[in-house]
Amino acid sequence: MHSNRDESKQNVQHTTLESASLGMEPDLRRYREIIRGKVRDDLQDYITSDEIIAQHGNDIVSVPVKEVQIPRYQFGSNQEGAGQGDGDPDAEEDGDGGPQAGDKAGQHIKEESFHVEELADLLGEHLELPRIKPRLTSGLEEAVPRYEGISKNGTTSLRDNKRTFKEALKRTIAENSYDPDNPVVVPVREDFRFRSPRLKPRPKTNAVIFYLIDVSGSMGDLEKSLARNTAFWTDAWIDRQYQGTEKCYIIHDAEANIVDRETFFTTRQSGGTRISSAYQLAKEQMAQRFSPDEWNIYVFHFSDGDNWGDDSAIAEEILKNDILPHVNLFGYVEIGGRHPHGGFKSDLDYAFGDYESVVTTDMEDREDIIPVIKDLLGTGR
Amino acid sequence: MIENPRQSELPTGAPSLETETLRRHKLTVSEFAGSRAAQERLVEEWRQEIEDKVQEACPLDFFPQHFEIVNWRQLQAILARDGFPRRYEHWNFGQKYASQDVRDTYGLGRTYELVINTDPCVAYLLDSNSVQETRTVMAHVYFHNMFFKHNSCFRHTDRKMLARMSNHAERIRSYQDDVGLEAVERFLDLCLSLDNLIDPHSVMIERDRGDGPRSAGLEKRERELFLPNRIEGPDYMERYLNPPERLAAEVAQKKKDYAERQRRVPISPEQDVLLFLMKHAPLEDWQRDVLSIVRDESYYFAPQRMTKIMNEGWASYWHSHLMTQHLLPMYPSEMIDYCEFNAVVLAPSKKSINPYRLGVRLFRDIEERWNRGQFGREWNDCRDMTARRTWDLSLGLGREEMIKAMKTHSDLTFLDTYLTADFCAENQMYLYERDRRGSAHVTTEEFEEIKGFFRRGLTNFGGPMLKIVEANHLNRGELVLLHQFEGQELDMGMATTTTQNLETLWERPVHVVSKTENGTPVVLSCERGAFEVKKMDSGFSGYLKTNS
């Protein structure tokens, strides 16, 4: 009996209806385009909320969208209604409500699925972010097949009908069997032409992004959330620009550790702050795994700038000698006006103000996420 | 497995079969029958059986009935297009499909069937409904079919709508090829935004085109039109009260006004805004045709929106009757399934009125009242509760009255005629209002109030009534619409965009004369895309009186 069920599922092809369900495609596609436009308009809200990052386990995230209403003349909000029963309209309904449920068209909130990449593109459009120009395109090349050639052999699906016909026509004329009054041209085996793949070398760009986040006690929940949001969208945008980026997530308080993505976006920790520990770890990683000759390197650091007194000098030293010479971009984001005395940013600005590869910026609340992303990525480096 | 499994499980009287049967009847149609071909054979078998019973139970005839078995994806697509597999391309169908998808995936609400008003009548059955549900639904469908055939609201609908919709799709497709997808979509958006501005009753009106014999009544009315105001007084005062010169001047003035009125566009307020735009808006040919398509379809669907309560009530009344008296279930357990299904469909709701329940209750009420003779003056005047309770003239007119009601009414007139205070009390009906925090409080159980609520909700589909009163305002080609204010304010957000859309079509400024909630007259104006709400001024106040 149960096998029948599967059989009947495959057996759904049916006269006129077969095309009916397929025919939904254009309408659905257009609707999604419209929704995409709406999401782009409200991108700020989506990006600054934690909701999307919370589901970051997948590449597909669902985004709440409002119903697109066709405007019509209608009455304003009406709080009046009719019901029946023992007179408590607020009471929970029993049962599933039957077929009339969902009859009323209201302001439904729906979830639409988006690929993170898609949202990153929207973000890029929204902020008019420049395409990143890789610092180096390494000597490495990868071969990509492109269907540009023509061959006499191939599969039917790749047959080039126009060329095939031309060949057949040429042959027919050459054989003197072409009759203009009855221009029938029948291609034979040797007339067939097929499109064929050609391997095209394409320069390969490698990128590695270091995300450094300060999880010390002085970073509150808001600060961490801001850092993560910014990191998430920065990450998404750079991912769009490079094939296969490597990530290196480093969290630090007084000590630095390499963690996985999951941990990076969720960890709560506390302790003191030694920024140099993180830079030291990044430096070691570069030396061991990511040679600056082969990799485009990005370093983004999020901190409240509240560093241990003598540590800033050490950190600057590492930056200057071992990090800045090798990176495409070093971004430093100082979060929170709550620690005005911290000021690692002002140290950096003082020391590296004239470095093109250094961007420093600060943020205080959710409003700042978008401008900060723009600051970090607006250089196009 | 092609053989019909039902053969092998006819009851043999052995009690051990009971549980097995129970399990079987919970199966869906596709599980029960197997292949789609077997499902179709099964449904055809049921169709013949049910059709016989329908004819046996009810004296009215119906269109030939065709059933189509679909899976839930197909049903979603068909639902998204209001029952028509082939319709023009528009994103809103995609949206409906997407939300349908969410509903079905999360199991919010279920759609058991979908019937469309065509000849032959087409109904879609969901292959994942249980055997028992499917049989009930099929019985239900026959009475929707009957309703479409006999209810007067549907008399002017096109019964070949499947073909017509398909033709519409083809025409729009060709315009897409001509002017591009975007232009067609933009224009369709404009048209759909106005598609509720039609006059559903206009199809019933037979206009005097002046080519038949003139009726005496008409001439009398025309004479009355130009009758001067006479002041009543004693005969000897006549010359002074009603001097012939004044009367003559007044008649002349009235004739002049009338003639002027005849020159105006529109002559009388026009509720069919779409038709007016087709005739008078500066449109290209393809645009006019797209507008006519939207209008056609809007008129086609209007009767269904006007008879939701009656239609569902009628079908539910009869499916109950059939399932309990004519199509007795094969097994007792089936009866339980049926009752469960029926209870879900007819469940009362505390937050809204379930049209299935209201409709079926009203029809039962009519049947009982007319069977017992509980109507007419004597009944209405009777205040003796004991007499009322035991009132039974054994007239047996119930069915007859039900059929009469079904044939002649729309929801609005149906409720107006048959909703009684007794009925409201018996069904514990009430009105409620939501306060600022969104919690609901019962406001009244008064019959007149409840009736008023329905009357408001059902007049003009529960939407505002707007009519074009002037198409050449200030001799500048500006369009003026009058909102016939009945106490409810327009939704300003929606009105803004809609008026802008109207202006885009009309290509000249558009004004809507309306009122705010407290009754202050206002004018919503849209000029070159800029929308503003203005205070009423003398230029517009004249239109407030133009109530046809």
Of B27, B349, B501, the CB nearest to A93: B349
Mean pLDDT for the stretch of residues B238-262: 85
What is the least distance, in Å, from the CA of B216 to any CA of chain A?
Answer: 41
Q: Is A105 on the interface with B (CB under 8 A)?
A: no
Q: Is A66 on the interface with B (CB under 8 A)?
A: no
Q: Is A82 on the interface with B (CB under 8 A)?
A: yes
Mean pLDDT for the stretch of residues A298-303: 89
What's residue A305's pLDDT?
79
Question: Is the model more confident about A46 or about A155?
Answer: A155
CB A280 within 8 A of CB A256: yes
CB-CB neighbors (< 8 A) of B491 in chain A: 73-77
CA distance B138 to B131: 11
What's residue A6's pLDDT?
35
**Pairing between strand B510-515 and B478-483?**
parallel
CA distance B330 to B336: 12
Of A11, A23, A32, the CB nearest to B36: A11
> Residue B437: how many CB atoms within 10 A of its CB?
5
CB-CB neighbors (< 8 A) of A31 in chain B: 91-92, 94-95, 97-98
- A115 contact partners, CB below 8 Å, separation of at least 6: A59, A60, A61
Report the predicted TM-score, pTM, of the whole model to 2 decimal places. Answer: 0.73
What's residue B295's pLDDT?
96
Question: Is the model more confident about A324 or about B26?
Answer: A324
Q: Closest Cα to residue B412, out of B201, B142, B141?
A: B201
Enter the DSSP assignment of B490: B
Q: Closest Cα to residue B356, out of B323, B318, B322, B325?
A: B318
Q: Give buried/exposed letters for B479-508 (b at 16+ CB in 10 A, else e).
A: bbbbbbbeebbbbeebbbbbbbbbbbbbeb
CA distance A371 to B419: 62
pLDDT of A358 higher than 60? yes
**Pairing between strand A358-363 and A296-303?**
unpaired
Interface of B with A in 48-87 (CB under 8 A): 68-71, 73-74, 76-78, 80, 85-86
Q: Is B503 on the interface with A (CB under 8 A)?
A: no
What's residue B1's pLDDT?
29
> Residue A128: how many CB atoms within 10 A of its CB?
8
Side chain identity, residue B410: S
Q: Please confirm whether the linkage preceding B15 is cis (ω < 30° from 0).
A: no
What's residue A71's pLDDT?
92
pLDDT bracket for residue A102 (50, 70, 90) = very low
Structure tokens at B102: 């969410």
What's residue B175's pLDDT?
96
CB under 8 A, 24+ apart: contacts of A146-149: A146/A197, A146/A198, A146/A199, A146/A200, A147/A195, A147/A196, A147/A197, A147/A198, A148/A195, A148/A198, A148/A200, A149/A195, A149/A196, A149/A197, A149/A198
Three-class DSSP category at A109: strand
Q: Is A288 on the interface with B (CB under 8 A)?
A: no
- pLDDT tens for B330-358 read 667 778 878 888 888 888 888 888 889 99
Are B490 and A70 a contacting pair at CB < 8 A? Answer: no
What's residue B198's pLDDT?
93
Say what angle helices B17-25 and B332-345 make with each other, to 10 degrees. 30
Q: Give buried/exposed letters for B253-278 (b at 16+ CB in 10 A, else e).
A: eeeeeeeeeeeeebeebbbbbbbbbb
Side chain identity, residue B188: L
What is the least distance, in Å, from the CA of B364 to any CA of chain A?
Answer: 18
Interface of A with B in 106-135 (CB under 8 A): 108, 110-112
Q: CA nearest B512 in A: which residue?
A: A73
Structure tokens at A165: 């016909």
Sign of CA dihedral B78, B82, B85, B90: negative
Q: Is B265 on the interface with A (CB under 8 A)?
A: no
Q: Closest Cα to residue A345, out of A381, A315, A310, A371?
A: A315
Are A98 and B345 a contacting pair at CB < 8 A? Answer: yes
Are A98 and B354 a contacting pair at CB < 8 A? Answer: yes
Of A26, A77, A101, the CB nearest to B89: A26
Are A85 and B428 a contacting pair at CB < 8 A? Answer: yes
- pLDDT tens for A222-231 read 788 888 888 8
CB-CB neighbors (< 8 A) of B354 in chain A: 98, 100
Interface of A with B in 3-32 (CB under 8 A): 4-5, 7-9, 11-12, 14, 16-17, 19-21, 23-24, 26-32
Side chain identity, residue A84: Q
Are B85 and A17 a contacting pair at CB < 8 A? Answer: yes
- pLDDT tens for A16-28 read 444 444 578 888 8
- A247 contact partners, CB below 8 Å, separation of at least 6: A208, A209, A211, A235, A261
Q: Is A101 on the interface with B (CB under 8 A)?
A: yes
Mean pLDDT for the stretch of residues B456-463: 86
Q: Closest Cα to residue B90, out of B9, B181, B202, B219?
A: B181
Q: CA nearest B345 in A: which residue?
A: A98
Give ipTM to 2 decimals: 0.82
Question: Is the model more confident about B393 or about A305?
Answer: B393
CA distance B158 to B117: 8
CB-CB neighbors (< 8 A) of B73 in chain A: 12, 21
What is the least distance, in Å, from the CA of B382 to any CA of chain A?
Answer: 27
Structure tokens at A229: 């949001």
Alpha-carbon distances, residue A343 vs A131, A239, A263, A330, B121 (angstroms): 31, 31, 27, 17, 77
CA distance A46 to A236: 14
CB-CB neighbors (< 8 A) of A68 in chain B: 91-92, 95
- pLDDT tens for A79-91 read 678 888 776 666 5
CB-CB neighbors (< 8 A) of A75 in chain B: 462-464, 488-491
Alpha-carbon distances, residue A369 vs A45, A111, A291, A361 (angstroms): 10, 24, 31, 11
Q: Give which of B430, B502, B503 to mutate to test A binding, by max A Cβ within 10 Å.
A: B430
Q: CA nearest B100 in A: which residue?
A: A102
Of A5, A80, A97, the CB nearest to B347: A97
Mean pLDDT for the stretch of residues A122-132: 79
Q: Concatenated DSSP letters for B325-349? A: IIS--SSHHHHHHHHHHHHHHT---
CA distance B31 to B419: 44
Enter the DSSP assignment of A367: G
What's residue A91's pLDDT?
58
Are B77 and A23 a contacting pair at CB < 8 A? Answer: yes
CA distance B39 to B127: 8
Mean pLDDT for the stretch of residues B154-174: 94
Q: Find the Cα–Cα–Cα–Cα dihedral B28, B34, B40, B43, rounded to 10°.
A: -40
Side chain identity, residue A268: R
What's residue B100's pLDDT?
73
Of A30-44, A193-207, B172-186, where does mean pLDDT reach its minimum? Answer: A193-207
Structure tokens at A84: 């029946």
Q: CA nearest B348 in A: which residue?
A: A84
CB-CB neighbors (< 8 A) of B356 in chain A: 98-100
- pLDDT tens for B98-136 read 877 666 665 555 677 789 999 999 999 988 888 888 888
pLDDT of A364 higher than 60? yes
Structure tokens at B506: 């009309």
pLDDT of A30 higher than 70? yes
Percent of chain A with pLDDT over 70: 78
- pLDDT tens for A39-71 read 877 877 777 777 666 665 567 777 778 888 899
Are B433 and A95 a contacting pair at CB < 8 A? Answer: no
CA distance A10 to A29: 25
**Radius of gyration in angstroms for the set of CA atoms belonging to chain A, rounded to a whole number:** 30
Alpha-carbon distances, residue B528 vs B341, B376, B501, B533 (angstroms): 55, 58, 11, 14
Three-class DSSP category at B307: coil
CB-CB neighbors (< 8 A) of B427 in chain A: 84
What's residue B16's pLDDT?
41
Question: Is the model more confident about A337 or about B515?
Answer: B515
Question: What residues pair up with B535 in beta bridges, in sequence order?
Answer: B522
Are A71 and B348 a contacting pair at CB < 8 A? Answer: no
Quick one: residue B459, left, alpha or beta (phi over 0 = left, psi -120 to 50 = alpha)?
Answer: beta
Mean pLDDT for the stretch of residues A356-361: 85
CB-CB neighbors (< 8 A) of A108 in chain B: 99
pLDDT of B7 higher than 50? no
Mean pLDDT for the stretch of residues A279-302: 86
What's residue A127's pLDDT?
79
Interface of B with A in 162-191 (CB under 8 A): 185, 189
CA distance A329 to A356: 8
pLDDT of A308 higher than 90? no
pLDDT of B546 higher than 70? no
CA distance A233 to A247: 14
CB A206 within 8 A of CB A246: yes
CA angle B299, B301, B304 (to 5 degrees): 125
Three-class DSSP category at B404: helix
Are B35 and A4 a contacting pair at CB < 8 A? Answer: yes
- Burial class of residue B175, CB neighbours in 10 A (0-12, 13-18, 19+): buried
CB-CB neighbors (< 8 A) of B97 in chain A: 24, 27-28, 31
Enter the DSSP assignment of B227: P
What's residue A106's pLDDT?
40
Are B31 and A76 a contacting pair at CB < 8 A? Answer: no
pLDDT of B259 higher than 90? no
Q: Is B95 on the interface with A (CB under 8 A)?
A: yes
Q: Is B488 on the interface with A (CB under 8 A)?
A: yes
Percent of chain A with pLDDT over 90: 6
CA distance B230 to B237: 12
Structure tokens at B287: 């645009």
Question: Is the model more confident about B527 or about B111?
Answer: B527
Q: CA nearest A77 in B: which residue?
A: B491
- pLDDT tens for A236-278 read 888 877 766 788 889 888 888 888 877 787 777 777 788 888 8
